[in-house]
Chains A and B, each alone.
Chain A
Amino acid sequence: MSKKKKTVYLLLAAVMVISVIIEVLFAHPHYHMLWNLVPGFDLIIGFAGAWGLILLAKVIMAGVLQRDEDYYDKNSMSSPSGKDGDVND
């Protein structure tokens, strides 16, 4: 693991711990669902949600929906455009 990545992990861990401590000490939830009452539950939603979305988008949706950039130009009568992604295409 690179040193930079390690520093980011440590910083994130510090933010998470401080946030949970503040929640335990000072929070007075207005609503009484699990994620309102259990300190740090939002960490689980945040991580699981991010993991699930990355899986959904990067594995499932990318696999099913992504095509070559000239996909729509293949059957076109005109010459394919936009192949190198420049605005001057």
Chain B
Amino acid sequence: MTVADLRYGQKGIIKDFTEHILPIKLLELGCLPGNSVELLQIAPFNDPIYINLSGSHLAIRRSLAALIELEIIEETQAK
């Protein structure tokens, strides 16, 4: 399960990662193990996606989102 697989309203916790493939900028904005990610919006044509990354509101492309592994913690009522 990665951030790219999130559905509307789903929330997850970033898993521990050892591979250093993520750009440093993403980490600085809060993409660290244990932090939460929530999907807020999906752009037209399904890409990019708009997430709340432990308080930072960011838009990232799916290709990048697919690199962030997480565990689902909250299954809010998907509308």
Is this pair of chains taken from one and the same complex? Answer: no
